Amino acid sequence: MLGKALSPGTLAVLAPALLLTEAIIWAYCACKGIPYVRAKRETYRQLWLNRHAFKRSIASSRDSNHVLIQTLGVRLATEQLASGRIGVVVSVLNGILTAFYGLWRGIAIAFTWR
Instruction: Flag whether pLDDT at 62 surpasses 70.
Output: no
> Domain range holding 47?
2-112
Tens of pLDDT, residues 74-100 = 777 766 666 666 666 777 787 888 888
Could you tell me the sign of the dihedral formed by the alpha carbons of 109, 106, 92, 34, in that order?
positive
> Does the pTM of the predicted model rise above 0.85?
no
Task: Give the pLDDT score at 59.
Answer: 42
Tens of pLDDT, residues 16-35 = 888 888 888 888 888 889 99
Task: Give the pLDDT score at 38.
Answer: 96
Number of domains forming the structure of the chain: 1
